[in-house]
Amino acid sequence: MVEERGFSANGLPYVRFGNGSHVLVVFDGLSFENKAPSRLNLKLYRNSFGLIAQAYSVYLITRKPGLPRGYSTRDMA
């Protein structure tokens, strides 16, 4: 399964897996870290999205690094 790690144009860490022609974007709301998911978390996501990743390129997006303490989802919107 193809894997790519990086940052979006606006600085959001992401991991892409799967090599399908369609795109699925997943916003990771369970992590409090401002970095790409750990290998263990990525393995769990791959297992969960395994069949979907055959037809889709799945982008797992996490929180932007450097957010100030107390920054809320309201501030992000």
Q: What pLDDT, on a 0 to 100 scale, did the predictor assign at position 23? A: 95
Q: How many domains does the chain have?
A: 1
Q: What pLDDT, on a 0 to 100 scale, did the predictor assign at position 62? A: 84
* pLDDT above 90 (res 43): no
Higher pLDDT, 16 or 44: 16
Lowest mean pLDDT among 3-7, 15-19, 39-43, 50-54: 39-43
- Residue 72 CA to residue 32 CA, distance in Å, equals 12
pTM of the model: 0.74
* pLDDT above 80 (res 22): yes
Sheet with 3-7, side-by-side order of all strands? 3-7, 13-17, 56-61, 22-27
Which domain range does residue 36 map to? 3-76
